[in-house]
Structure 1
Amino acid sequence: MTNFDFHDLGNIGPRFTWCNNKEGASQIWERLDRCILNSAALQKIPKAVTRHLVRVASDHSPIAFKIDEKKKDFGDEGMILQRKIIRTLKELFFWSKNKFKDLNKMKEELKKKILDLQHKEAVGIDWSVDDLLLLRSKIDELNVTLRRLSTWWNQRAKARWHEEGDVNSKLFHNFTTARRNGNRVNQIKDMNNKIQVEEDKIEEIFIHYFEAKWKARDCELSSWPEIFENKKCNIEKFTALTSEFSVNEL
């Protein structure tokens, strides 16, 4: 799969897709069925996901291929604003991808222009100093565009191969799409141990978790020893504790 640029989408629902329908120690569960896409398909449908359905007429689970759906805003004003911000970030992401496409288009146009000028130079007819300067200018523009493309893919892949001299954009492309797909959370269990697969539900579970984690708590201090006036730090000790470390202390 890696050699031929195919990536597993992951799944929602039961972990396995096949069972031998036996009981006890003879029962076998496996994930035999998968949905895989190449990098080009992942670029067009980045939110694609597969769902394992209920086994009824076969010992294999049917697989449903789901593409992202548009949803209307609901909830309070804060949640609506948050969803709009998320959609804006997505639009900026695709805008960045379109800028990358413009760089590719610019690269091809520059290569064609350079080829025409070099052909004119080889023939030697009507070749002038201005044509020579134009050729050098186009070559310089092409080199800049290639560096911009390489930087774009290097940033998207978050890999260090570029530092070692590898500027293979296809390699960065495959690395980026696979990493993004692997980091996506497709399903999560809620407080009732029920699996939730909708994005809004997953987001709500995370919000509730961290709100409960960082909420203010009432501490019971009745069993702690009392602090008497004569046991408090005096000014001298307080100054020593709050002063900066010296070189000797370090």
Structure 2
Amino acid sequence: MASIDRRDVNLLIGMKWDFFHVLADGLSRGIMVLWKKNMASFKVQESSSQFVVGELEVVNKGKWKIGTIYVSRDTYSRSSLWGRLEYHVSKEVPMIVGGNFNYLLSREEKKGGRDFVYSLGNKQMKSFITCIDLHEVESIGPKFTWCNNKKGAERILEKLDSCLLNSVAMNLSQWMVVRHLARIASDHYPILLNLLEFNKISKKQIKFEEVWASCPTSVTVAKKAWWRKVCCSLPHILNQKMNRALKALFNWSKAKYKELNQLKDELKKQILELQTKDAVIGFLNEEEAWLLKWRQRAKVKWIKEGDSNTRFFHAYASARRNINFIHKIKDENGLIMEDQIKVENVLNNYFNEKWKERECSLLGWPKQWKTLSIEDSLVLSIEFTIEDMEKVIQELGPNNAPGKNGISYSFLKA
């Protein structure tokens, strides 16, 4: 490996755990990795003038693949880079690919100089990212990562450096954020990838599953738990009954899980047999056609009600989680807070101030000229009936997010 020149820093990747940092920089000239030897090991799998790919193994943290790159402007060299990187991409191991891509994906990634042109290099880079399922992480700090260090009209700013992760890495429990650090003695901004871990409540919350309602036995299980006597206030009684019914359904589901999966597999097998017969013979009789339609509708119901616990579902949920994650926020003084504890404090202080008790005087206010009629006031004051409550519950959507007790409207309907 060549020695590191601090004036030529192209990438800094930092993976933050409790005990180590991985730092990779100077990709065009070499790579430096720092860690405690008894905690982690890094093995280079392939390297060239454009990239270094290796496997990082951390004690009790598993394996990561790290690819650090410096993309050449030469068309032939660049094509070979994409091919070699694709060879190392894994769908089973979390992977990070970061460095100087030397190409832009949109006009928003450039400021100053000539107008952005969507060239062959840009197309190849975008195709590479899309085909091997890489995703860019939300960044904090300056928008652009490279500057030509000129002044006035000649000054050019571009976002040449990026940090991309595969779906396996995106699906991890940590929140991820990229920081563009201060640029001191280089024309590139160092990039720091943080894997943020938060203290989570260890207690597992039980939530009502849609698929339970499709099995008639679940009604009997819920009724048996519901009618057990509880002696306390009325709201307490309701909560206790719901919790008991939910726990009973959960325990019943654990015992019946294999049976439910067997029923689903049998359903898929029957659908396939009928579809194969339809393709070979060319038609189905009336009974078989009706049976195929019923089986397909039943299968759609299983999937619609959330029984299909697929990798795609988790990837979609993780993507939404990362999009909704608040990476930074301004406090009341206009200062940007990036530390997660400070972000939480800013939000807590804001809403505590917003909703605190205040004294107000209505003396001198004009009289209300738009008011409800006596008839409308009486309608609003009428007590709710059981029929009103049942009508509201039946009209509500079944898949709404459950409350803290894990009960959804599907439970009430069932």
TM-score tier after normalising by the smaller chain length:
0.5 to 0.7
2:151 maps to which of 10, 20, 23: 23
C-alpha distance in 1 between matches for 2:157 and 2:196: 29
Deviation track 1:138-196 (CA, whole Å, cap 9, x = no partner) reads x967545879xxxxxxxxxxxxxx54xxx693432332222221111111111122111
Structure having greater relative contact order (Cα 8 Å, sep ≥ 6): 1
Aligned match of 1:76: none
What is the CA-CA distance between 1:210 and the residue it aligns to? 1.5
What is the CA-CA distance between 1:51 and the residue it aligns to? 1.4
C-alpha distance in 2 between matches for 1:192 and 1:146: 59
Letter in 2 for 1:12: I
Letter in 1 for 2:365: W
Distance of aligned partners of 1:141 and 1:25 in 2 relative to their CA distance in 1, 3 Å threshold? same
Distance of aligned partners of 1:241 and 1:180 in 2 relative to their CA distance in 1, 3 Å threshold? closer
Question: How many matched pairs?
Answer: 164
Aligned match of 1:49: 177
What is the CA-CA distance between 1:15 and the residue it aligns to? 2.5
1:182 counterpart = 2:323: yes
Q: Is the 8 A contact 2:136 2:164 kept in 1?
A: yes
* Aligned residue runs from structure 1 range 63-142, under 5 A: 63-68=191-196, 87-88=200-201, 92=204
C-alpha distance in 1 between matches for 2:156 and 2:361: 52
In terms of fraction of residues, the more helix-rich structure is 1
1:37 counterpart = 2:165: yes
Distance of aligned partners of 1:184 and 1:190 in 2 relative to their CA distance in 1, 3 Å threshold? same
Letter in 2 for 1:57: A
C-alpha distance in 1 between matches for 2:160 and 2:265: 42
What is the CA-CA distance between 1:9 and the residue it aligns to? 1.7
Aligned match of 2:357: 216
1:10 counterpart = 2:138: yes
The SS at the match of 2:315 is helix
TM-score under structure 2 length normalisation: 0.33
What is the CA-CA distance between 1:12 and the residue it aligns to? 2.4
What is the CA-CA distance between 1:32 and the residue it aligns to? 2.1
Distance of aligned partners of 1:216 and 1:53 in 2 relative to their CA distance in 1, 3 Å threshold? same
1:171 counterpart = 2:171: no
2:347 maps to which of 194, 199, 206: 206
C-alpha distance in 2 between matches for 1:209 and 1:69: 24
C-alpha distance in 2 between matches for 1:11 and 1:146: 43
1:240 maps to which of 355, 364, 375: 375
In terms of fraction of residues, the more strand-rich structure is 2
What is the CA-CA distance between 1:46 and the residue it aligns to? 2.1
C-alpha distance in 1 between matches for 2:309 and 2:264: 15
The SS at the match of 1:203 is helix
Deviation track 1:45-81 (CA, whole Å, cap 9, x = no partner) reads 52232211100121111011223357xxxxxxxxxxx
C-alpha distance in 2 between matches for 1:19 and 1:88: 44
C-alpha distance in 2 between matches for 1:66 and 1:221: 52
TM-score under structure 1 length normalisation: 0.52
Q: Is the 8 A contact 2:174 2:197 kept in 1?
A: no
Give unpaired runs (5+ residues) of structure 1: 71-85, 97-138, 148-161, 228-232, 246-250
Deviation track 1:114-137 (CA, whole Å, cap 9, x = no partner) reads xxxxxxxxxxxxxxxxxxxxxxxx
Aligned match of 1:230: none
Q: Report percent identity of matched pairs.
A: 38
What is the CA-CA distance between 1:21 and the residue it aligns to? 2.2
Letter in 1 for 2:158: E
